[in-house]
A and B are shown apart, each in its own frame.
Chain A
Amino acid sequence: MDVAPVAAARDGDRMAFGILYERYVRMVHGILLSRVPLVEVDDLVHEVFLVALRQLHTLRSDAAFGAWLARITRNRAHDYFRRSPARKEVALPEVLPGPGAESSSAEAEAHVALNAIRALPAAYRETLVLRLVEGMTGPEIAARTGLTPASVRVNLHRGMKLLRKKLSGKTDYE
């Protein structure tokens, strides 16, 4: 499905790269959100796509674009922490609700849920963020990331089970 825009983007077609951006930005955003502080995510999304643009000529199989981009994204998140070992995940909200915010309790509930997901093993948290935050379906996650549908299904179900356990007693999800 993505072979044509990948080939066109490699030939310098900016519009084709824009199509790839639209198709994959939620995946990149979700993978980063599951790993780095919230305030850094948007900048890192931009950096990942610039790296992809520069390195597109090294991609051997156009059909593997999604898996390749996912790997770049995970590496970029890894580099983020490696460059500064003092950096740690921020447990509390980095963006505090202002007067216009819906309500402080809803904001707090969202951060509790996100932090609970981020505390799960990498495979589960990534898949759950893509499903619950970015709104992607299981088949879509598999198609974008290059994982098999069976793996995604297992990650979703096991991750959700762990998440329910984590949230039980703190919220009314269970």
Chain B
Amino acid sequence: MNNDYLWDGSGKPDPDIENLERVLGRFRHNRPAPRFPEIIPGNEPRRSRFAWSLSIFQSLVVATGAMAVLFLSVWFVHRSIRGAAGEETFAVTGLQGAPKVGTQAFTTRGQLSIGQSLSTDQNSRARIHVNDFGDVTIEPNSRVRLLDARSNRKQLALDRGGLHARITAPPWQFYVETPSATAVDLGCEYTLTVDDSGAGLLRVTFGWVQFYSGDRQALIPAGAAARTRPGIGPGTPYFEDVSPGYQKALEELDFGKGAPAARAAALDLLLKESRSADVLSLFPLLSRVSESERGLIYERLSVLSPAPLGVTREGIIRGDNAQISLWWDHWGLGHPKK
């Protein structure tokens, strides 16, 4: 055994210890730091004995103050806004069973602070009241964390399970992070699920949602959905009334192993089955496929949604983003409000 290596990592590495470091490294802390309260609760200056000898008048003042604090506390809880630490918190309601905030189970009401998690087991459900933004229902076997609660940006992380968000806030203010992509509300209602591998599915029932990871993004309107995979990000959005074969073909193009025959068959099926509404899927594909595949998509798109002035076959084939955007804007469904 090499003692120096165990002590400070110096000297000749001990293979046993190196192996333990490698296999155990997966448990290492890797979460980002939460935001901490600006005001430190309980941080009061130390008092002299004299200061503790309050007069009756002072006691009355303190008692009145305490009543005011009590009143404000009740009001704060009911309004589910600022917590004792001066930071925003969200009120949570148990809908079924005994969900947990952190390690504490509750049945009716609770508070979720920044950095805390809300988890449900197979028998429990809960609702998070996102102040004036709307509410989020947490389905069984789920875990979410509150990452941000500023007035103009609220952010949850869905580690696993499912949630249903109904948001009435202006666009670009409510975010849900998953292990493989982040959903941004654009004034909408949607369902998001994440499995144990970190793969997810986002289904929009009202409005629009942007789903992104790095440069890869999907804009998903009501009636449509998109999948996401760890290490890749969101796939191509599709309307949910497309055939199962159509969905499988998109999965092949988005997340498949890239076998040429499989890709060709998938693209062939997509082009054959695409209706005018399915340009929702064809437009994003333009920036995710090879030049030769782009040419085939251009041909089909031209039939479903004729290219406006300024968009050329050559421009689309070389992947000109300005032309792709121009064509997208010309399409009837349009952009969500910004």
A residues neighboring B (CB under 8 Å): 9-12, 14, 17-18, 21-22, 25-26, 29-30, 33, 38, 40, 42-47, 49-50, 53-57, 80, 95-101, 106-107, 109-110, 113-114, 117, 131-135, 137-139, 153, 156-157, 160, 163-164, 173-174
Contacts and interface: CB of A to CB of B under 8 A. Distances in A.
A142 to B, nearest CB: 10
Q: Is the interface of B mostly helix, strand, loop or mixed?
A: loop
A153 B23 contact: no
Contact of B31 (A42, A97, A164, A173): A42
Contacts of A25: 29, 33
Interface of A is mostly: helix
A46 B115 contact: yes
A43 B116 contact: yes
Contacts of B116: 43, 46
Contact of B21 (A17, A114, A135): A135
B7 A18 contact: no
Contacts of A18: 33, 36
Interface string B113-124: 101110000000
* Residue of B20, B27, B38, B44 contacting most chain A CB atoms (<10 Å): B20
Contact of B25 (A10, A11, A21, A133): A133
Contacts of B24: 110, 113-114, 117, 132-133
A173 B102 CA distance: 36
Given A22-B33, A46-B115, A138-B6, 17 more contacts: A12-B39, A21-B33, A25-B33, A26-B29, A40-B103, A53-B85, A55-B42, A98-B195, A98-B199, A100-B230, A100-B231, A114-B24, A114-B27, A133-B27, A156-B6, A157-B3, A173-B19
Contacts of A44: 102-103
Contacts of A50: 85, 113, 115
B29 A132 contact: no
Contacts, number: 132
A100 B255 CA distance: 13
Given A110-B27, A135-B28, A137-B8, A56 B195 contact: no
Contacts of A56: 40, 43
Contacts of A21: 33, 36
Contacts of A107: 26
16 contacts: A9-B40, A12-B43, A14-B35, A14-B37, A17-B36, A25-B33, A45-B31, A46-B116, A53-B37, A54-B41, A55-B42, A132-B20, A133-B24, A156-B6, A164-B16, A173-B19
Contact of A98 (B3, B37, B196): B196
B16 A173 contact: yes
B43 A10 contact: yes
Which of A47, A50, A156 has the largest count of B CB atoms less than 10 A from its CB?
Answer: A50
B8 A113 contact: no
A14 B21 contact: no
Contacts of A134: 28-29
Given A100-B198, A160-B1, A137 B9 contact: yes
B40 A46 contact: no
B315 to A, nearest CB: 37
A160 B17 contact: yes
A138 B36 contact: no
